[in-house]
């Protein structure tokens, strides 16, 4: 049984007190419920993209948005308070986008 997950260090502490590493290639299932209009648009776009599956297309859209600082800022401005200590700033390191929270920046 898992009692604590440390996402940054990619480790899990079990109820027995042991620590084990989380696989770097582990996939997490996300199943959003979407309305029929959004579903139809996703399906048509998937067909237009050389018959890509809806799931694969949704994965690519999520990756694109989470790795674009403008979209991250847009979602935070729209749905989150400006003074949230966990507000994210994005930093590009080589080709990878890294998230930093204000909380992390103050702590160090």
So what's the pLDDT on residue 20? 60
How many distinct structural domains can be found in the chain? 2
Check: CB of residue 20 under 8 Å from CB of residue 12.
yes
Structural domain contains residue 50 = yes
Same domain, 51 and 76: no
pLDDT digits (tens, 9 = 90+) for 44-74: 999 999 888 999 999 999 999 999 999 999 9
Task: Kindly give the residue spans of alpha helices, DSSP state H, lying in the chain.
Answer: 36-48, 54-66, 69-79, 102-107
Same domain, 54 and 80: no
So what's the pLDDT on residue 101? 84
- Indicate the pTM of the whole model: 0.69
Structural domain contains residue 12 = no
Structural domain containing residue 83: 69-108
Structural domain contains residue 4 = no
Alpha carbons 93 and 65: distance in angstroms, whole number: 17
pLDDT digits (tens, 9 = 90+) for 3-47: 444 555 555 555 565 656 566 677 778 888 999 999 999 999 999
Q: For residue 87, what is the DSSP state?
A: -
Structural domain contains residue 58 = yes
């Amino acid at each position: 049984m898992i009692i604590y997950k440390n996402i940054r260090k990619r480790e899990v502490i079990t109820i027995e007190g042991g620590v084990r590493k989380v696989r770097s290639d582990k996939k997490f299932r996300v199943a959003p419920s979407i309305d029929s209009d959004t579903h139809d648009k996703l399906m048509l776009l998937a067909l237009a993209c050389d018959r890509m599956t809806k799931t694969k297309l949704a994965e690519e859209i999520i990756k694109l948005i989470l790795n674009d600082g403008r979209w991250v800022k847009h979602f935070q401005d729209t749905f989150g308070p400006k003074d949230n200590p966990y507000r994210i700033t994005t930093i590009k390191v080589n080709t990878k986008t890294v998230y930093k929270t204000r909380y992390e920046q103050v702590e160090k």
